[in-house]
Structures are given as structure tokens and as C-alpha cells.
Chain A
Amino acid sequence: GAGVSQSPSNKVTEKGKDVELRCDPISGHTALYWYRQSLGQGLEFLIYFQGNSAPDKSGLPSDRFSAERTGGSVSTLTIQRTQQEDSAVYLCASSLSGTGRSPLHFGNGTRLTVT
């Protein structure tokens, strides 16, 4: 497909379990972003990748959150020992260059529910 693809679209997990969220960006897009949207909130920046490196991880809420990107393409966001406050929609976006002049193209998100 031509767009950003995220999987799974929905994930329900028990508190304390680990989860992995996957993002396939648009082919050729060097920049990749993770945001999350909690209920009634705006989009909260989590992490930014340029290629495989993450120059800005400042939005990750705690050390339970980590992300990696391989081959300049697929990215995985991992949340360890999930807590109920982690429940949110996790959105991945990619852009052509990451220079701040390229619009972000978003996937449809993964809705995470921690019970």
C-alpha cells in the first residue's frame, strides 16, 4: 500500500504485560515519528527517527517505553510492564525528509487498552 501501515489496529492487554506496536512507513520516507493520543487529549510527541537513529526521544513517558527502527523502514514501539495510563491510540507518521517542511503522513493508529 501507499500509506503508513500500523499493526495491530487494536490491542487489549493485561496490566504488567509487554506489548509491541509496529509501523511500516511510506517507502522512501526517511523520517518516522511516534505520537499518542489519550482520551480527550491532543497528539503527544513520543519519539522521532531520522533513518535508523533517534535524535529525539524526549517524549517517551518513562523507561518502560522504547522504540527502534531497522533498515530505515519498519519501526517498533515497545511498552514494558504496561500500566492503565498507557491506554491510548498510538499513531505513527512518516515524512519525506524530517526537516520541518514536510507534512507528516499518519497511519490509522493502534488503540491500546490496558485492563
Chain B
Amino acid sequence: DQQVKQNSPSLSVQEGRISILNCDYTNSMFDYFLWYKKYPAEGPTFLISISSIKDKNEDGRFTVFLNKSAKHLSLHIVPSQPGDSAVYFCAASEKGYKYIFGTGTRLKVLA
């Protein structure tokens, strides 16, 4: 049973436009969510997080939105840049240490 799902395996976006990456979860007890970016042959790099007491967190070009009633979060990147091309993972944890990761979405930003 996959508790964290990223239903889009890939996404292509034109440079300068908005990239929207989606993530759904099933466990209503999850209370902390993170997004990671991964380049080939490197480990995932932390991007941004959000606590369940918030519905939005922003850091530069990156904004994460959380909709608890829908058990859905999204990462917005605007404007998208070619260097943003990578695999993006969402992850969630429940009042503790264990992070459950999604299967990732490969973003390609076209110049």
C-alpha cells in the first residue's frame, strides 16, 4: 500500500513558465511534508518543507501548497529554469522520524 503517490512520472515545461508537481497521500496522520530534487548520480537534495498547520510555504521560486482535506500537496516552481530539470520526490512523516517517499516525477524544463 503506497501511502505517498506521485501519479505523474514525467512533466515537460517551457522555460519561464510555471511547473506544478503534485503529490497525494493516504495517511491523515502525516503532519510534515518535504520536497526533494534529485539529479542523476547524486543524492536527493532538500528543497522545501511544510508543516500540517500551514497551507502554504514559500522559498524563492519554490512554493509548496498543502490541502489537508484533499490529502494533496503540490510544488510550484516559477519561473522554471533549465537547471530545474531533475526528478522531484515528495515525502511525508507522521509525528516522528520516518519519511515515506513518493516514486518521483521527472521534470524537464525546455529552453
Contact = CB atoms under 8 A, between A and B. Distances in A.
Contacts of B100: 45
Contact of B103 (A41, A98, A100, A103): A41
B42 A100 contact: no
Given A42-B102, A42-B104, A45-B100, A105 B46 contact: yes
A70 B6 CA distance: 36
B32 A48 contact: no
Interface in B75-105: 89, 91, 93-104
Nearest to A44: B101
Interface in B45-97: 45-46, 49, 51, 89, 91, 93-97
Contact of A107 (B31, B43, B46): B43
Contacts of B96: 99-100
B101 A42 contact: yes
Query: Which range contains the number of A residues in contact with the other chain?
Result: 20 to 34
Interface string B28-39: 000110101000
B94 A100 contact: yes
A44 to B, nearest CB: 8
B32 A100 contact: yes
A108 B41 CA distance: 7
10 closest pairs, A vs B, by CB?
Answer: A106-B43, A42-B103, A43-B101, A103-B46, A100-B93, A98-B97, A100-B96, A108-B43, A42-B101, A106-B44
13 contacts: A4-B43, A31-B97, A45-B98, A45-B101, A56-B97, A93-B43, A98-B97, A100-B95, A100-B97, A106-B43, A106-B44, A107-B43, A108-B43
